[in-house]
Amino acid sequence: MIERFSPPGTISLMYIETPAPPHTAWPEQALCAETGADFFFPEPGSSVREAKRICGMCAMRSACLEYALANDERFGVWGGLSEKERLRLRRAHQQT
């Protein structure tokens, strides 16, 4: 359907010229990949205790936190830290 409204050849051209995302194998190895997003993206006001417990056992925790900080993830638990905790960490880093 999109091809009908696009100039001939542009769809395949866009696909070829789209840069590949950087290799990030850590999500596949992280414990959250086996658990499900409900723990890590709870409803507002819900506890993040279980997500933090899972993160505490995960070997990919530091890579996850680094990713969240580098990509300004604003929702959910990443690398064992909540949104508010990551915000405090960013602010503390900016002051130094």
Long-range contacts of the stretch 34-37 (C-beta < 8 A, 24+) = 37/76
Q: Binding-site residues, please?
A: 32, 55, 58, 64
- Residue 37: what residue type? A
Q: Binding-site residues for [4Fe-4S] cluster, please?
A: 32, 55, 58, 64
